Amino acid sequence: MLSFLHRSLLLGSMVAACCAAPLFAQQPEALYHEPYRPQVHFSPEKNWTNDPNGLVFFDGEYHLFFQYNPSGDTWGHMSWGHAVSSDLVHWKQLPLALPEHDGEMIFTGSIVIDEHNTSGFCQNGQPCMVAVYTSHRGTGEHDQRETQSLAYSLDRGRTWSFYDGNPVLDREMTDFRDPSVTWNDEAKQWLMAVSLPNEHKVVFYQSADLKHWTEVSTFGPSGAIGGQWECPDLIHLPATAQHDSLWVLKVGINPGALQGGSGEQYFLGSFDGRTFTQQPGPHSTGWSDYGKDSYCAISYNHLPANAAPVLLGWMDNWQYADKLPTSPWRGQMTLPRELSLQHDSTGDTLAQQPILTGLRSGRGRHRKLQLSGTRMQLSAGNLSTPTEMLATFTGATDGLYGLRFYSDNDHWVEVGFDEQKYHLYVDRTHSSIEIHKDFPARTEAPLEPARSRDLHLVLDRSSLEVFAQNGTLAMTNLLFPASPYTRVQLFRSSGHATLRAETSTWTLNSLWK
């Protein structure tokens, strides 16, 4: 993935990032335990990462490939890094998978399991892994070319060979990228969704062998078209007791997203094997994340039968990605999120729930709090990040209220409900050390008045992920506090009705232990 904001990086003059040491880092820290190192989110051991790539489940392992610079902690020399997990929570980084080579950078793409050897790459009657990725060549607008290419692995992704016949799809275009490939069992064909970023379109192709592709349809423009469309992903949501199955087409938008910088839009509709059709009505489109820092999320291929779809994204924003005060790495992933369809009186909505299997430490702390017509704050407990919290609010019909997470008396991040505007919001304007002029932000999401006022929060050392209204709202924001977060308080800035809150809090174990 490459936005037009970053094409200048291809001219060979990469701008060095501002790399001030964290304010509360007094001594060198052990690897994976640096002050801002995420403890429940994947980050590479060192160097730069952006988009997740090739998410696939195979032979008992969840694979996470990712855009990676093996030469430094800023964007460049794009290759595919690789990590594996048995539970989507605990990750082990493996050696570099697909390296930059012969003037070709390895941009975003996907991996499929070729169970029937349609490609001819597999051996001894065993399925093999095939990567379909964007091959990026050239350094400037006049000689840049993006095509789609293949690589394959016969040993569960540990080593790879590039296909001699690359590229397999070429529209002779500067911007043509991010293939998402799946197997259509009914048609006995491979399906590719790939982006035409500047035209705000997703093009669908079919193939019998992964090598020869035929265009079958296009979708777009639709919805938000303020920036380039990237990282398309077509996801099937299983039927529920209330509704038939639906399809979700998700696209990354950069820049010009809802909150500025990078963002992600989705469309609900149907898919007949060739064409995606957006369903009518105001709820046919939405944002998969309303925060500043979730981008190019893609779903897992080849999951076990009856498993819910799982989405995972890059937790960052192109406005300031190369300015983050972390070392020796720069960049991290969101939590994996299980997807479902929620249907109620307000319509159909994409819902997400974070996956944190086995990370809770102890039985948790449970508290009941109440505020009656007052602006005072009540303690909801001390913190030890990483922390998971569930909170349910009842009784309030007006004003602003929610939770504040303090690192000291002068620095906090606020998660609240605004019952005048019907907004959920996260305000990090008082939370972090100075990063970039676009970093301070108050992000908002529209509330459905008929739905509950609930929060599911995951606070890590440098991030906060918020899920609300039964997971139908997600909001992801990076945080870089001057000192670690130590306490959480219930607040109310206005309103008269009695506010009641029930909270449950767990300290989370580090995934690196």
Q: What is the pLDDT of residues 455-477, one digit of tens each?
A: 999 999 999 999 999 999 999 99
Residue 253 CA to residue 318 CA, distance in Å, equals: 11
Confidence label for 10 from pLDDT (cuts 50, 70 and 90): very low
Is the separation of the CB atoms in 209 and 119 below 8 Å?
Answer: yes
List, in order, residues 6 or more apart from 332 with CB less than 8 Å away. 38, 41, 42, 43, 49, 314, 315, 316, 462, 463
Confidence label for 1 from pLDDT (cuts 50, 70 and 90): low
Q: What is the pTM of this model?
A: 0.93
Residue 299 has pLDDT above 80, yes or no: yes
233 is known as an active-site residue: no
What's the whole-number mean pLDDT along residues 301-329?
Answer: 96
Nearest CA-CA partner of 353 in 342, 337, 341, 366: 337
- For the chain, the maximum distance between any two Cα atoms, rounded to a whole number of angstroms, is 73
Backbone angles phi, psi at 32, to 5 degrees: 75, 0
Bridge-based pairing of strands 329-330 and 47-58 is parallel
Bridge-based pairing of strands 263-271 and 145-153 is unpaired
Backbone angles phi, psi at 323, to 5 degrees: -110, 0
Residue 122 CA to residue 286 CA, distance in Å, equals: 40
* Sign of CA pseudo-dihedral 105, 109, 115, 116: negative
Nearest CA-CA partner of 432 in 418, 448, 446, 412: 412
List, in order, residues 6 or more apart from 67 with CB less than 8 Å away. 1, 49, 50, 51, 52, 53, 78, 79, 80, 81, 107, 108, 314
Q: Please write the tens of the pLDDT for every residue from 200-235.
A: 999 999 999 999 999 999 999 999 998 999 999 999
Q: Please write the tens of the pLDDT for every residue from 11-44.
A: 333 333 333 334 444 344 588 999 999 999 999 9
Give the tokens for residue 440: 């301070």
Give the tokens for residue 350: 């994409």
Query: Which one of 51, 289, 316, 322 is the catalytic residue?
Result: 51
Residue 109 has pLDDT above 60, yes or no: yes
**Beta-ladder partners of 147:** 135
Which domains are seen in the chain, by residue range?
A: 4-354 (2.115.10.20), 360-508 (2.60.120.560)
* Sign of CA pseudo-dihedral 280, 342, 414, 52: negative
**Half-sphere exposure of residue 207, counting CA atoms within 13 Å on the CB side?**
20
